[in-house]
Structure 1
Amino acid sequence: MRSEDSPRGWFALGTFEHGGLAFPGLVLEGGRVVDLSRTEVPGASVASFRSVRQILEGWEANRAALAAFARHGAADAHDLADLRVLPPVEPVQILQSGANYHRHVVDLIVAEARAGNPRMTPEEEAEVRRAGERLMDERAERGEPYLFLGSPTALCGPYDDVVLPAEGDQHDWELEFAAVIGRSGRHVPPERALDLVAGYTIANDITTRDLVYRPDLKAIGTDWLRSKNAPTFLPTGPYIVPKEFVGDTSGLRITLRLNGETMQDESASDMIFDVARLVSYASSRVLLRPGDLILTGSPAGNGSYWGRFLGEGDVMEGTVTGLGYQRNRCVRERLPEAAPGRVPDGSAT
């Protein structure tokens, strides 16, 4: 649930379901969850909360009130094991960072060069890698982040099944951590950007690699809508951990195992642009609002690196230091036959 050196009064926020009803929950030490839609928290902005996003909209007052409440505990709480865990927040915007880990980007550069030259020698590959590393160092110094928008309808819970669409074959994992916005902001400099962040959560930004590039529109480039935004393609959670319990995010370890085998295992210190620069850049392009998610990018070790993609029955298990655990089983999409005049909706069995 938390590290042993976390401050007393640790808590997290999430969205949970019990008896068919969803509610915002305060996660306490020991795996207890307080239903904040039915519990009054002294000093909070409202008597009870409808959603986690509402909590974040008054984050400055609510953070202090929830921290005081967590220190005293609560007698009336659910066991976490008895609840279905939903995505922790319903964001208005999801901003996703691409190409933000040194080793990951250099691995992609080498893979593309190898694909164009199957007879590449080890010496040639080493030179390509060195050139890629120089390019990333230059980008970190003088470049800017690469962000794009994702659809909130891609969200699913941290333990839900991931439905692999019928279109495309190269479904790939991208475990990362996300910053959760707790204060509106526009044109915020990097030195003040973390003031906008309420906390952090885990996200697995699944991508269908063979749908990234449009063969009919090569000059346009990447098509993130069709390659990243299928329903369930963004397992998120289990909860939001306030930033004061996380500390320096460069120390976070991001690990993903596929069927028990480690695929990603990287430190966030390999990021090209840190959280402050990502948030600052995002605020220069859009108005950030409470509940928005900023995904910070995937480290090395994706399926495209291993030459192995997701299939039915695969199980992904992901952890990020201090942020919890995900476990998602992959199932194939089943397309039902449409009745006359009816468009089928995708489903899985």
Structure 2
Amino acid sequence: MTTAPYALARYRDGDAVRVGLVAGDRVRPLDADELGGGLNDFLSDPDWDRIAALVDAPAAWHPLSDVTVTAPVEPRQVLQTGANYREHVIQLVAAGLTQNTDRTPEEARAFAADMMDERARSGEPYFFIGLPACVVGDDVPLVLPGYSDVHDWELELAVVIGKEAFRVSREEALDHVAGYTIVNDITTRDLVFRKDMKEIGTDWYRAKNAPGFLPTGPLLVPARFVDPADTDVRLELNGQVMQDANTSDLLFDVPALVSAASQTHPLLPGDLLLTGSPAGNGQHWKRFLRDGDVMTATIGALGTQVVRCVGEAS
């Protein structure tokens, strides 16, 4: 499931959910003594060497295919980053400029590129908040609410916070990252902007927080096995590639994001910080999610997430 030597997962065991150690195509349960408490207790001071030693220790291993893996994290906070892939934002800005000015497409793109480079030099990341209750595993079908026909995908590399981060510098930021996982940040496009009072601007609560709108996992991969500055991000819809990018295109990298987010409020062990989504979402393709769609997402060594869409029953 992963190209990393090992990772953590959470899987269903009857009515309970257990934390497991994944190595190759097998999984074994981790008890509280091995973790040093619950999952977030471990992430507050992760001893990955101790976990690595368990890979070869005698234990009750199971085939990974025999268990139902669910979301690998239990965040208390979810922070999301907007407009953070340079090429994606250039496309959006340039499209708007060519519609509203006399610039040629080439002139509009050059102007937008200069804007983004200046933003990376002197600007700040754009954050908003998601509901932790929306975090689910890909074992849960994505129910598409019947109040809209424009539900969209946004595949993102997600940072899993380790020890608490509060007002940390960029140089210190990666010391507070325990690992990474996959998140598909589902968005209902026609709810993003308020129609009754445009001056209010964006309505991220209604647009992004329906049940199950943050499919997460399947794995939590230790930070030591992921290069957040050079990791491929790829999403297929029914076998067709829709998003295909690399995190090298991030305007604000992971240290910048963790540092900036921590200036306002402490980031807690197990929290998720989404890093933004590249070009190629449904709004670009003029193709939104439908009943029966299957999204297959891969990000570097983080495994494969498969999300099945179902229409909401009337």
Displacement of 1:176: 1.0
Relative to structure 1, the CA distance from residue 330 to residue 2 in structure 2 (aligned partners, 3 Å threshold; closer, same or farther) is closer
Matched residue of 1:168: which SS? coil
Displacement of 1:216: 1.1
Question: Is the 8 Å Cα contact of residues 180 and 199 (structure 1) preserved in structure 2?
Answer: yes
Q: Which amino acid aligns with 2:111?
A: A
- Deviation string, structure 1 residues 287-345 (Cα, Å, up to 9, x no partner): 1110000000001111111111111111111000100101111111225xxxxxxxxxx
Unaligned stretches of 5+ in structure 1?
336-349
Aligned to 2:43: 56
CA distance in structure 1 between the partners assigned to 2:303 and 2:168 by the alignment: 29
Aligned to 1:68: 53
Which structure carries more relative contact order (alpha carbon 8 Å, separation 6+)? 2
Matches within 5 A, 1:56-135: 56-59=43-46, 62-70=47-55, 72-113=56-97, 116=99, 124-135=104-115
Query: Bigger radius of gyration, 1 or 2?
Result: 1
Aligned to 2:6: 11
Moved over 4 A (4+): none
Question: Is the 8 Å Cα contact of residues 164 and 311 (structure 1) preserved in structure 2?
Answer: yes
Displacement of 1:226: 0.3
- Deviation string, structure 1 residues 81-109 (Cα, Å, up to 9, x no partner): 11111111110000000000011111222
Aligned to 1:338: none
Aligned to 1:347: none
Relative to structure 1, the CA distance from residue 321 to residue 128 in structure 2 (aligned partners, 3 Å threshold; closer, same or farther) is same
Q: Which amino acid aligns with 1:257?
A: E
CA distance in structure 2 between the partners assigned to 1:111 and 1:73 by the alignment: 56
1:198 aligned onto 2:178: yes
| 1:212 pairs with one of 192, 197, 210 | 192
Matches within 5 A, 1:224-303: 224-246=204-226, 248-303=227-282
CA distance in structure 1 between the partners assigned to 2:166 and 2:219 by the alignment: 26
Q: Which amino acid aligns with 1:24?
A: V
Q: Which amino acid aligns with 2:21?
A: L
Matched residue of 2:308: which SS? strand
Displacement of 1:158: 2.5
Displacement of 1:111: 3.5
CA distance in structure 2 between the partners assigned to 1:269 and 1:103 by the alignment: 11
Aligned to 1:32: 26
Question: Is the 8 Å Cα contact of residues 95 and 150 (structure 1) preserved in structure 2?
Answer: yes
Q: Give the aligned CA root-mean-square deviation in angstroms.
A: 1.7
Matched residue of 2:104: which SS? helix
Displacement of 1:220: 1.1
CA distance in structure 2 between the partners assigned to 1:225 and 1:263 by the alignment: 25
Question: Is the 8 Å Cα contact of residues 158 and 325 (structure 1) preserved in structure 2?
Answer: no
- Deviation string, structure 1 residues 250-271 (Cα, Å, up to 9, x no partner): 2200000011110000011000
Q: Which amino acid aligns with 2:53?
A: A
Relative to structure 1, the CA distance from residue 113 to residue 159 in structure 2 (aligned partners, 3 Å threshold; closer, same or farther) is farther
Question: Is the 8 Å Cα contact of residues 111 and 305 (structure 1) preserved in structure 2?
Answer: no
Matches within 5 A, 1:155-170: 155-170=135-150
Question: Is the 8 Å Cα contact of residues 15 and 52 (structure 1) preserved in structure 2?
Answer: no
Question: Is the 8 Å Cα contact of residues 34 and 74 (structure 1) preserved in structure 2?
Answer: no
- Deviation string, structure 1 residues 221-259 (Cα, Å, up to 9, x no partner): 10000000111111100111001111x222200000011
CA distance in structure 1 between the partners assigned to 2:154 and 2:2 by the alignment: 23
Q: Which amino acid aligns with 1:318?
A: A
Unaligned stretches of 5+ in structure 2?
none
Question: Percent identity among equivalent residues?
Answer: 49
Q: Number of residue pairs matched? A: 314
Displacement of 1:78: 2.0
Matched residue of 1:312: which SS? coil
